[in-house]
C-alpha cells in the first residue's frame, strides 16, 4: 500500500444548492465569485461547491443565502471540489450520494414552502407532524362506522 | 450550539435545517472529511482502509459484515458525541454512507438508547406537511437552547 | 495497447470495508477498468420495484437497478463484477439472484465475490483475469480442436502437469508433485516430451496455467499465459466432448476449488473458493496418509465404505483429521473413514461453491481429485446426477493450455 498525503487539510467544503424561481445556480456563482476572496467556488448543476477556511466559507454562504433564504440550502461535503475520487467521469456513474440528493430535491419544494409559511403563521397554530414511531390509534367513531358497514 | 446527529446522515435538508437554526449537524460528510484529510495509507475512494472495519468492532462483533463495521467506525464516534438527534424514518433512498440497512438499524438503535432529545419525522409529502415538518424542527432546535 | 475491458461493478459495501482499492488494483493488473453503471433515481425506483426482490438496504436497491440497466443494454459493459460483504444474508440473496439474472438474460460474463476487510487484490486477480479473458478472447476460447504440436503446462499448488499434443491427440504426459516451481516444470516437460518422442524445438506453441503460470510462462517464453478458470473449462468440455450447450465444471484442487457454469465452452459464471483447506484435495491427501494408503487407493477404498458411519462435524482440516483419527480409534473401518472424508469434501464444495453457480448437466469433474472415485461418487449423490470424468482429467489445465495455445501457431 502506498502512503497517502491529503490535500486541502484544514479546509471545509460545502454545497450550496438552489431550488428557486428567482435565482439560478449561475446567478449565485457570479455573486459568489465577487465575494470569494480566495475561496474556491465551483458551479454544479445543483448550485455551487465552495471550499476554503471554515470562517471564509461560512461568510460567503451567509451572504449568498440572502439572495433567496428559503430556497437556498447548504450541506457539508467530505471531498474538495473536483476530486477525482468522486468525479462522475472517473467512476463511470454518479457516486451513490448523488441519488440521495436527487431524492431530497423532490421534497425540497415542500421544505421551502414550510420555511416561508412559518414566518407568516402563528407557530402554536401549526400542528406537530405525526410521530412515525407511534401507531396511529383508530378513533372509536371510525371503528363504530367500520363495524356498522360490516354488519349491513 | 448543540451537536445534532442527523438521520439520514447524508441529508441535505436536515444538515441545512440544523445549521440554519443555529446548531452543529453531525453528518457523514464531516466524518468522511476527517478521513480524507488524515494522512495514512492510500485507500480510495473514501480513505477507509481495512483498519476501519477493525475499529468498528467497538460497535459490532466480528461476525458482522466488514461494510457495517467500516461504516460504524464513521458513525460510532458521532453517535457518542451527539447531544440531540433528528431522525427521518422513511429515508429509504439514501445511498452510499447510508446504503446499508443493517448499519442504519444499529445507528438508530444506538441513538434511541441515548438519553438525548430526539425528534422523529417522515419526509413531508405535500406543502402542509412541509410547514409542519419545518415548524417541528425549528421548535425542537430552539428548545435545545444555545443556538448561534 | 488494447483498450481496457470495461467491468461494471455492482456492489454493496466495498468502499466501507476498505477493499475498493484492491478491486481496482486487481482489475488494472489484467487491463480491466472498473466502472459504476450510471442511472438516475427514477430508474432505481422503477427497476427495484419491477425486479421484485424487496430488500431494505438502499445500496442493494441500487445494485439491482444497475444490473437491470446492464441487462437492458442501457449501459454498455464487457463484464460484470458483483461484490457484497461476506456474512451479510441480505446481500448474499441479492448477489446470487443478480448473478443468475445477468447470466440468464445477457451474454455478459459475471463473477461474484463476498469480501471481508482482508480481501486483497491478489485474491481477486485470478477471477478478474478470467473475467477479462472471457470478454476479450471470445475468438480464442471458441477453438474446438488442437492443431500442430503444442505443449501445455499446469503449474499447480500441489502438482505440476505437462501435456504434449499433436493434431488433436495427446501424445505425451508428465506429472509430479510441485516442489520448486521451475524445477518441477522442467521435469514434467522432459517426461512428456520423451513420451511423445518430440524435442522442444518441434513445439510450435506453449501455454501455461496454474499458480506458477507467470513464472513458468516467462521462462518458457509461452505464447499463452492464462488463469485456470477459462483454461480448465475449455479443457473439460473438450475432453468430455461436450463443447456445445451448457455444462458445469467442478475442479477440487490442492489449494482452491472451482465451480464453473459453462456455455459452449465459455465460462458464464464461476466461483473460486479457497478459505478452508478442509474442502480441498489436501484434506484427502492427509486422510490417505493417515490411513496408510496411497492417494490413488483412497477412492476405491471409499467406494467400499459407508461415510454415514463416521461422525464428521468439522469442516476444518485439522479438526476434520482429528475426527477421522477418533473414528479409527473407536473402531470404524478404514473404508468408512475414507468414504466419510470424501463425503465431507464433496459436501463442503456443494454447500460453499455450487450454490453460486447454476448446475446444468453434464457435470464434469476434473483435476487430480477427479480420479478419487469415492469423491466423484459422493458428489454425484449430492447432485443427484451421473458425473462425467473425462480421460486425462488430471491433466485438464495442461490439455486446455495446449489446445488454446495452438491458436497462436504462426501459420494458423
Q: Are B85 and B7 in contact (CB under 8 A)?
A: yes
pLDDT at residue A136 greater than cutoff 80: no
Domain C242-389 in the same topology as domain C5-136: no
- Residue-by-residue pLDDT tens, chain B, 148 positions: 999 999 999 999 999 999 999 999 999 999 999 999 999 999 999 999 999 999 999 999 999 999 999 999 999 999 999 999 999 999 999 999 999 999 999 999 999 999 999 999 999 999 999 999 999 999 999 999 999 8
| Residue A100 sits at the chain B interface (C-beta within 8 Å) | yes
Report the C-alpha gap between C403 and C397 in whole angstroms: 10
Of the candidates A9, A76, A123, the beta carbon closest to that of B135 is on: A123
Contact list, A85 vs chain B (CB under 8 Å): 44-46
Report the C-alpha gap between C382 and C354 in whole angstroms: 11
Q: What's the rounded mean pLDDT across residues A17-40?
A: 91
Query: Which residues from B are below 8 Å from C when comparing CB atoms?
Result: 42-46, 48-54, 63-71, 92-102
pLDDT at residue A133 greater than cutoff 70: yes
Helix, strand, coil share of chain B (percent; to 5): 50, 15, 35
Q: Do B67 and C88 touch (CB under 8 A)?
A: yes
Distance from CA of C9 to the nearest CA of B (A): 14
Q: Do B66 and C90 touch (CB under 8 A)?
A: no
Of the candidates B12, B27, B129, the beta carbon closest to that of A104 is on: B12
Distance from CA of B79 to the nearest CA of A (A): 18
Q: Which residue has the cell 483454461?
A: C231
What is the pLDDT confidence band of residue A134, given thresholds at 50, 70 and 90? Answer: confident
H-helix segments, C145-291: 181-196, 213-220, 228-239, 281-291
Kindly state the cell numbers that stand for C397.
Answer: 489445465
First to last CA, chain A: 76
Its ipTM equals 0.96
Contact list, A133 vs chain B (CB under 8 Å): 89, 120
| pTM for the predicted model, two decimal places | 0.87
Distance from CA of A56 to the nearest CA of B (A): 16
Q: Do B49 and C12 touch (CB under 8 A)?
A: no
Contact list, A96 vs chain C (CB under 8 Å): 59, 62
pLDDT mean values, one per 10 residues, chain C (412 residues)? 91 96 96 95 95 97 97 96 96 94 92 92 89 88 94 92 97 94 96 96 96 95 94 95 94 85 88 74 88 89 86 76 86 90 89 82 94 92 94 95 93 56
| pLDDT value for C314 | 65
Q: Phi and psi dihedrals of C203, rounded to 5?
A: -65, 130
Distances in whole angstroms, Cα of residue A140 to Cα of each of A143, A150, B51: 5, 15, 56
Cis peptide before B107 (omega within 30 of 0): no
Q: Do A103 and C38 touch (CB under 8 A)?
A: no
Domains of chain C: which residue ranges?
5-136, 144-229, 242-389
Report the C-alpha gap between C9 and C66 in whole angstroms: 9
Contact list, A112 vs chain B (CB under 8 Å): 130
Q: Do C38 and A99 touch (CB under 8 A)?
A: no
Q: What's the rounded mean pLDDT across residues A94-110?
A: 91
Q: Do B70 and C13 touch (CB under 8 A)?
A: yes
Q: Do B43 and A4 touch (CB under 8 A)?
A: yes
CB < 8 Å from A in window 34-73 of B: 35-47, 49
Of the candidates B50, B53, B93, the beta carbon closest to that of C58 is on: B93
CB < 8 Å from A in window 106-135 of B: 120-127, 129-135
Domain C5-136 in CATH 3.50.30.60:
no
Please tell me which chains touch B, using 3 or more CB pairs under 8 Å as the contact test: A, C
Q: Do C35 and A93 touch (CB under 8 A)?
A: yes
Topology, domain C242-389: Nucleotidyltransferase; domain 5 (3.30.420)
Kindly state the cell numbers that stand for C161.
Answer: 502437469
Kindly state the cell numbers that stand for C352.
Answer: 460453499
Q: Are B60 and C30 in contact (CB under 8 A)?
A: no
Q: Do A93 and C59 touch (CB under 8 A)?
A: no
| Residue B148 sits at the chain A interface (C-beta within 8 Å) | no
Contact list, A99 vs chain C (CB under 8 Å): 40-41, 44, 62
| pLDDT value for C313 | 65
Query: Which residues from C are below 8 Å from B when comparing CB atoms?
Result: 12-21, 24, 41, 44-45, 55-62, 84-88, 90-91, 115-118
Report the side by side order of strands in the sheet with C363-366.
C32-35, C5-12, C79-85, C110-115, C266-273, C257-263, C246-252, C363-366
Task: Name the helix (H) or strand (E) containing A47.
Answer: strand A47-52
CATH class of the structural domain C144-229? alpha beta
| Gyration radius from chain C CA atoms | 22
| pLDDT value for C411 | 61
Q: What is the dihedral of CA C181, C182, C186, C188, to 10 degrees?
A: 10
| Residue A109 sits at the chain B interface (C-beta within 8 Å) | yes
Report the C-alpha gap between A72 and A18 in whole angstroms: 5
Residue C8, classed as helix, strand or coil, is strand
Q: Are C134 and C104 in contact (CB under 8 A)?
A: no
Amino acid at each position: 500500500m502506498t502512503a497517502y498525503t491529503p490535500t486541502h487539510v484544514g479546509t471545509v467544503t460545502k454545497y450550496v444548492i438552489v431550488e428557486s424561481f428567482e435565482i439560478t445556480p449561475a446567478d449565485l456563482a457570479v455573486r459568489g465569485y465577487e465575494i470569494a476572496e480566495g475561496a474556491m467556488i465551483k458551479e454544479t448543476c445543483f448550485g455551487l461547491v465552495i471550499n476554503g477556511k471554515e470562517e471564509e466559507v461560512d461568510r460567503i454562504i451567509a451572504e449568498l443565502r440572502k439572495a433567496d433564504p428559503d430556497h437556498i440550502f447548504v450541506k457539508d461535503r467530505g471531498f474538495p471540489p473536483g476530486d477525482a475520487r468522486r468525479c462522475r467521469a472517473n467512476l463511470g456513474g454518479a457516486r451513490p450520494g448523488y441519488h440521495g440528493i436527487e431524492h431530497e430535491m423532490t421534497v425540497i419544494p415542500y421544505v421551502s414552502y414550510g420555511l416561508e409559511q412559518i414566518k407568516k403563521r402563528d407557530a402554536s397554530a401549526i400542528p406537530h407532524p405525526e410521530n412515525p414511531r407511534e401507531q396511529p390509534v383508530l378513533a372509536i367513531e371510525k371503528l363504530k362506522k367500520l363495524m356498522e358497514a360490516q354488519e349491513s | 450550539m448543540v451537536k445534532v446527529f442527523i438521520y439520514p446522515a447524508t441529508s441535505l435538508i436536515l444538515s441545512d435545517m440544523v445549521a440554519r437554526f443555529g446548531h452543529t449537524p453531525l453528518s457523514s460528510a464531516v466524518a468522511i472529511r476527517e478521513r480524507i484529510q488524515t494522512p495514512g495509507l492510500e485507500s480510495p475512494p473514501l480513505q477507509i482502509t481495512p483498519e476501519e472495519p477493525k475499529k468498528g468492532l467497538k460497535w459490532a462483533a466480528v461476525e458482522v459484515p466488514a461494510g457495517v463495521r467500516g461504516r460504524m467506525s464513521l458513525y460510532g464516534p458521532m453517535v457518542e458525541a451527539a447531544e440531540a438527534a433528528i431522525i427521518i424514518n422513511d429515508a429509504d433512498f439514501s445511498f452510499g454512507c447510508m446504503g446499508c440497512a443493517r448499519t442504519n438499524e444499529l445507528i438508530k438503535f444506538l441513538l434511541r438508547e441515548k438519553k438525548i432529545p430526539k425528534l422523529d419525522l417522515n419526509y413531508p409529502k405535500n406543502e402542509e406537511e412541509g410547514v409542519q415538518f419545518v415548524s417541528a424542527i425549528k421548535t425542537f432546535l430552539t428548545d435545545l437552547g444555545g443556538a448561534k | 495497447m488494447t483498450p481496457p475491458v470495461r467491468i461494471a461493478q455492482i456492489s454493496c459495501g466495498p468502499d466501507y470495508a476498505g477493499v475498493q482499492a484492491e478491486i481496482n488494483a486487481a482489475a488494472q493488473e489484467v487491463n480491466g477498468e472498473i466502472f459504476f453503471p450510471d442511472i438516475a433515481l427514477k430508474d432505481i425506483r422503477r427497476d427495484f420495484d419491477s425486479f421484485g426482490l424487496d430488500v431494505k438496504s438502499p445500496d442493494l436497491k441500487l445494485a439491482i437497478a444497475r444490473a437491470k440497466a446492464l441487462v437492458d443494454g442501457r449501459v454498455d459493459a464487457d463484464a460484470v463484477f458483483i461484490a457484497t460483504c461476506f456474512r451479510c444474508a441480505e446481500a448474499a440473496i441479492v448477489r446470487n439472484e443478480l448473478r443468475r439474472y445477468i447470466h440468464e438474460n445477457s451474454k455478459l460474463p459475471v463473477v461474484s465475490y463476498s469480501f471481508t476487510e482482508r480481501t486483497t487484490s491478489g485474491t481477486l486477480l485470478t477471477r478478474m483475469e478470467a473475467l477479462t479473458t472471457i470478454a476479450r478472447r471470445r475468438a480464442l476460447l471458441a477453438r474446438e480442436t488442437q492443431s500442430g504440436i503444442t505443449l501445455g503446462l499446469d503449474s499447480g499448488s500441489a502438482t505440476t502437469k505437462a501435456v504434449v499434443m499433436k493434431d488433436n491427440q495427446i501424445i505425451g504426459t508428465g506429472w509430479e508433485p510441485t516442489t520448486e516451481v521451475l524445477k518441477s516444470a522442467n521435469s514434467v516437460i522432459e517426461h512428456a516430451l520423451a513420451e511423445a518422442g518430440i524435442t522442444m524445438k518441434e513445439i510450435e506453441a506453449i501455454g501455461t496455467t496454474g499458480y506458477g503460470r507467470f513464472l513458468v510462462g516467462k521462462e518458457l517464453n509461452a505464447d499463452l499465459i492464462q488463469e485456470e478458470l477459462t483454461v480448465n473449462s475449455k479443457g473439460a468440455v473438450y475432453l468430455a466432448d461436450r463443447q456445445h450447450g451448457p455444462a458445469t465444471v467442478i475442479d477440487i484442487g490442492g489449494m482452491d476449488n472451482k465451480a464453473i457454469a459453462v456455455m459452449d465452452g465459455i465460462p458464464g459464471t464461476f466461483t473460486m473458493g479457497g478459505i478452508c483447506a478442509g474442502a480441498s484435495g489436501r484434506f484427502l491427501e492427509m486422510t490417505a496418509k493417515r490411513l496408510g494408503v496411497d492417494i490413488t487407493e483412497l477412492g476405491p477404498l471409499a467406494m467400499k465404505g459407508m461415510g454415514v458411519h463416521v461422525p464428521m462435524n468439522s469442516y476444518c482440516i485439522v479438526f476434520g483429521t482429528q475426527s477421522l483419527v477418533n473414528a479409527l480409534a473407536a473402531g470404524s473401518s478404514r473404508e468408512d473413514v475414507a468414504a466419510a472424508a470424501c463425503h465431507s469434501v464433496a459436501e463442503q464444495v456443494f454447500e460453499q461453491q455450487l450454490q453460486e453457480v447454476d448446475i446444468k448437466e453434464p457435470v464434469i469433474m476434473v483435476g487430480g481429485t477427479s480420479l478419487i472415485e469415492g469423491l466423484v461418487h459422493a458428489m454425484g449423490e449430492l447432485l443427484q446426477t451421473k458425473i462425467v470424468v473425462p480421460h486425462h482429467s488430471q491433466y485438464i489445465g495442461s490439455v486446455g493450455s495446449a489446445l488454446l495455445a495452438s491458436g497462436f501457431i504462426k501459420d494458423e
